[in-house]
């Protein structure tokens, strides 16, 4: 059987009807269904990309020395990680590459179990299915069954924006290390928290200085509006990072040299991140008030780029209700069988489109 036949249908294909309805609105569609950044890529990043466009040779899979140093500095200075060396870091062609391919790159198969959050970004499941591994959905380390090979955690989480408290992260680390599992923490939204502190799994407060079996997966797509650059990176257990780098060399999974230079520039500048966080916070505040006024309840949503909303009924009914007002959101059933009464509403739209949505919700 071909791999495509083992995978679920691409979720966004099921939004065609709602999208057509939203598009018919006289004021145009407000598409809040995806997490694609809508704000400009920082000038410092674009200049670095342009300056490095002369790149006739193949770049290093694990990154240039300058990029490896920038990743290490970012983990240490921004997140207070344990001391890392070059052997602890590598690059990725966007975070989704890691999410989708990690089970395969780790040589997992039918005898292995991958633990996923109960409500989760669908590519975690796709990655496990591609490796033909078993899947267990669980949010509580005390309820994990058996000895999984890989555990995914995501904080701040997509879709619902929950931020894992320190005690929960510590319990996940302890479980993974006791049972010999790889713990992969998807931290691509870590810069965008509003109501609770965020941590990297590489911080001593989380792991007591022992990063055995731990991977922190981060991205510049959201942090620096670089989704089109496909610029991700990994830090963690040197043995696992080395294995991933070796396999990715064979497979040609290489971040282009100009993009690597742009990553160095992005990681070295925190100002543009703080400005972007303020933009999202302002949009979030306006949209939250408008949704609540329109009868929605906002759950979780302490971080990330989304509001997790419900009107108390089926999420697909809320999708249609919003589409009638020209607003397109993502139904909760995209994210597994435990979230069918919610919708995910993204803040990744221009201020003008957010204002249009607010006006329609409060009209």
DSSP 220: S
Question: pLDDT tens digit string along 98-142?
Answer: 999 999 999 999 999 999 999 999 999 999 999 999 999 999 999
CA–CA dist 94, 218 (Å, integer): 9
Confidence band of 9 (pLDDT split at 50, 70, 90):
confident
pLDDT of 135: 98
Fold of 43-269: 3.40.640
User: Under DSSP, is residue 57 helix (H, G, I), strand (E, B) or coil?
Assistant: coil
Confidence band of 14 (pLDDT split at 50, 70, 90):
confident
| Strands 89-92, 232-236: pairing kind | antiparallel
Domains 3-40+272-362 and 43-269 fall in the same CATH topology: no
CB 82 within 8 A of CB 306: no
Fold of 3-40+272-362: 3.90.1150
- At 186, which helix (H) or strand (E)? strand 182-186
Alpha-helical (H) ranges within 65-195 are 65-79, 95-105, 123-130, 166-179
pLDDT, mean over the chain: 95
Question: Rounded to the nearest 5°, which phi and psi values hold at 195?
Answer: -120, 5
CA–CA dist 11, 122 (Å, integer): 9
pLDDT of 139: 97
pLDDT of 363: 86
Which pTM value belongs to this model?
A: 0.95
CA–CA dist 276, 20 (Å, integer): 30
DSSP 28: -
- What percent of the chain has a predicted confidence (pLDDT) above 90? 95
Question: pLDDT tens digit string along 84-101?
Answer: 999 999 999 999 999 999
| Mean pLDDT calculated for residue range 208-218 | 98
CA–CA dist 157, 172 (Å, integer): 15
Please state the domain extents for the chain: 3-40+272-362, 43-269
User: Under DSSP, is residue 225 helix (H, G, I), strand (E, B) or coil?
Assistant: coil
Q: Across the strands, what pairs with 136? A: 115
CB 308 within 8 A of CB 300: yes
Question: pLDDT tens digit string along 48-84?
Answer: 999 999 999 999 999 999 999 999 999 999 999 999 9
**pLDDT surpasses 60 at 5:** no
CB 234 within 8 A of CB 217: yes
């Amino acid at each position: 059987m071909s791999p495509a036949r083992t995978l679920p249908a691409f979720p966004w294909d099921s939004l065609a009807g709602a999208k057509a309805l939203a598009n018919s609105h006289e004021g145009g569609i407000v598409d809040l269904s995806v997490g694609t950044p809508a704000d400009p890529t920082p000038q410092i990043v674009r200049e670095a990309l342009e300056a490095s466009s002369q790149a006739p040779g193949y770049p290093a899979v694990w990154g240039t020395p300058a990029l490896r140093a920038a990743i290490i500095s970012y983990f240490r200075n921004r997140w207070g990680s344990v001391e890392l060396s070059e052997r602890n870091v590598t690059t990725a062609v966007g975070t989704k590459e890691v999410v989708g391919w990690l089970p395969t790159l780790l040589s997992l198969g039918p005898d292995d179990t991958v633990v996923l959050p109960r409500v989760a970004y669908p590519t975690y499941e796709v990655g496990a299915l591609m490796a033909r591994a078993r899947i267990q959905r669980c949010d509580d380390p005390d309820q994990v069954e058996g000895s999984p090979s890989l555990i995914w955690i995501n904080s701040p989480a997509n879709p619902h924006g929950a931020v894992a408290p320190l005690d929960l992260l510590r319990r996940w680390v302890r479980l993974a290390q006791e049972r010999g599992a790889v713990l992969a923490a998807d931290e691509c939204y870590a810069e965008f928290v509003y109501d609770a502190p965020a941590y990297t799994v590489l911080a001593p407060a989380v792991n007591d200085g022992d990063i055995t079996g731990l991977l922190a997966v981060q991205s510049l797509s959201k942090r620096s509006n670089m989704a089109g650059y496909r610029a991700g990176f990994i830090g963690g257990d040197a043995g696992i990072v080395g294995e991933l780098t070796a396999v990715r060399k064979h497979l040609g999974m290489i971040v282009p040299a100009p993009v690597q230079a742009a990553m160095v520039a992005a990681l070295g500048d925190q100002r543009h991140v703080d400005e972007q966080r303020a933009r999202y916070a302002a949009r979030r505040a306006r949209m939250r008030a408008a949704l609540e006024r329109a009868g929605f309840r906002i759950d979780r949503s302490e971080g990330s780029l989304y509001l997790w909303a419900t009107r108390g009924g089926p999420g697909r009914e809320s999708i249609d209700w919003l589409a009638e007002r020209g607003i397109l959101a993502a139904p909760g059933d995209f994210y597994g069988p435990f979230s069918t009464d919610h919708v995910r509403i993204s803040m990744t739209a221009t201020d003008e489109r957010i204002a249009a949505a607010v006006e329609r919700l409060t009209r």
